[in-house]
Amino acid sequence: MSGYTPGEQPRDSSMVKLNTNESPYPPSPRVAEAVQAVLADGRLRRYPDRRGTVFRQCAAGLLDVDPDALLLGNGSDDILTIVTRAFVPEGGLVVAPMPTYPLYRILADIQGARFEPIRYAADWSLPDPFPVSDAHLTLVANPNSPSGTSLGVEALARLAECVEGPLLIDEAYADFAAANALALARRPNVIVTRSLSKSYGLAGARFGFAVTQPELVRELEKVKDSFNCDSLSLVAAAAAFEDQEHLRITRARVLRTRERMWHDLTELGFDVTPSQANFLWCRRSDRPARAIYEELRVRQILVRYMTYEGYGDGLRITVGTDEQVDLLVTALRQIV
């Protein structure tokens, strides 16, 4: 099998890095304080709190869900692994609308399962009725990557009704969207995942979680690593999550820049999909996306070149700071 290839993480920090949807802004200053406290009080000698009690209470309160409805993970990728491992047998079936997060197919490969892509419609809506209902696991990223588009809650509710197995709604980018599907996590077969990597600026800390039925959480916990969340990321996540004001400010900045970046790139002749996430999906017919990616790279600007079988390719560009977007737009003006 081929493994998953994440976006490049250059060691040269002078590059304008718009390729992996990290936040251009630092996390809440409360994160550093919380991490310092753990380092100072000697807690790292001990194994972490397996329940992640502090984060659990804080997130349950803010999201208005049962604390036992949360499954905590070492990034939301860890949650995706746990869910696949729990539900998908060898030779089983994993389904996801495509193009989407390439990791879904790799998770099926690891499990020795079959992966069946379902093509999104041209407007990034789901085919209705959804053609496969007997999958062991159906995965939908909402907002989706690379498109940045969101499905309405009604469409996702219909999908949850239609599929027999669990439906995982991957909401890594939900904080940048106008609406989310968290309310569907009350249904017996729906799992909603969230990440602190993007909107909270904690990609390096590795923390994500799922919201679903407490009965399901108890089963999913059986297949996870006993200490999948470490003491530093647990306190970092709790401190970041508690600071909703910081999230509100950074989100507002990103949304403002996203709007302006959409206009600039559209003006430069790109076909830019309106986005509910912190990145834009950009295509054009007059010039290969790969060449533009390479020319940007020479100019020290890193974006993500993505290509999908049976669909084509494009550039997925993270919404950076306004200064980074200025550099991007100037470079693109020279290139195209």
Ligand X SMILES: *Cc1c(COP(=O)(O)O)cnc(C)c1O
Note the residues at the interface with ligand X (CB under 6 A).
Answer: 21, 75-77, 101, 141, 145, 170, 172, 195, 197, 203, 208
Residue nearest to ligand X (CB): 75
Closest contact distance (angstroms) between CB of 227 and ligand X is 17
Q: How many other CB atoms are there within 10 angstroms of residue 222's CB atom?
A: 9
Nearest by Cα to 325 from 276, 290, 282: 282
Q: Which is nearer to ligand X, 23 or 111 (CB)?
A: 23
Q: Tell me the three state secondary structure of residue 195.
A: strand
Closest contact distance (angstroms) between CB of 80 and ligand X is 7
Q: Which is nearer to ligand X, 278 or 332 (CB)?
A: 278
Q: Which is nearer to ligand X, 19 or 76 (CB)?
A: 76
Detail the DSSP E strand segments found in 217-299.
271-272, 279-283
Q: Which is nearer to ligand X, 150 or 331 (CB)?
A: 150
Within 8 A by CB and 6+ apart from 57, the residues are: 67
Element (H, E) at 62: helix 53-63
Closest contact distance (angstroms) between CB of 191 and ligand X is 13
Continuous H helices in 64-180: 76-87, 103-111, 153-162
**Cα–Cα dist 221/228, whole Å:** 10
Q: Which is nearer to ligand X, 19 or 332 (CB)?
A: 19
Closest contact distance (angstroms) between CB of 129 and ligand X is 24
48 contacts 234 by C-beta, under 8 angstroms: yes
Closest contact distance (angstroms) between CB of 115 and ligand X is 16
